[in-house]
Amino acid sequence: MASFLDLSSNWSLHSIPAAFVLALLPNVYASFAAGKNYDLANPRKTEEHLAKDTTIDKRQLNRILRAKAASSNGLETIGLFAAGVVAANAAKVPVDTLNKLSLFYLGSRAVYNFVYVFLQDNRKFAPVRSLVWMASLGSIFTLFIKAGNAFY
């Protein structure tokens, strides 16, 4: 039986737009959770509107703020991830390796988003978030290292 995701095909370049979507998902959550405080005409004022809203509970407010931060963090790393994927493809790193590293990055970013937004109500999960973030960076660095090694 053929698997749903054929890892013998190169999916690594497809993972770049998927990473962009993963980076935007927490912001989508934050926008909906902010409700009337989200101003489509001026979305950067959302945090200011939230700070003035006395009806929103602190737990929900903190989740919204963390979701926006998770989204920003994803967007901050996506350029490096995309460059790593392109470098590894240009260096003809084996497809299996490209796919595994790309999928690992996507998986770690999904876990990062979940831990940061929903589990961080308990501050004891902060180290988990940091470890997952470091793991996602590890996959990026590994892409560059594999690319550099393949060029020799």
Length of the chain, in residues: 152
Q: What is the 3-state secondary structure (H, E, C) of 73-121?
A: HHHHHHHHHHHHHHHHHHCCCCHHHHHHHHHHHHHHHHHHHHHHHHHHH
pLDDT of residue 47: 83
Residue pair 85/16 in contact by the 8 Å Cβ criterion = yes
Mean pLDDT taken over the chain: 92
Domain ranges of the chain: 15-35+44-150
pLDDT of residue 1: 45
Q: What is the 3-state secondary structure (H, E, C) of 36-63?
A: HHCCCCCHHHHHHHHHHCCCCCHHHHHH
Residue pair 109/74 in contact by the 8 Å Cβ criterion = yes
* 15-35+44-150 under CATH 1.20.120.550, yes or no: yes
pLDDT digits (tens, 9 = 90+) for 75-89: 999 999 999 999 999
pLDDT digits (tens, 9 = 90+) for 97-111: 999 999 999 999 999
With a cut of 50, list the residues of the chain below it in pLDDT: 1
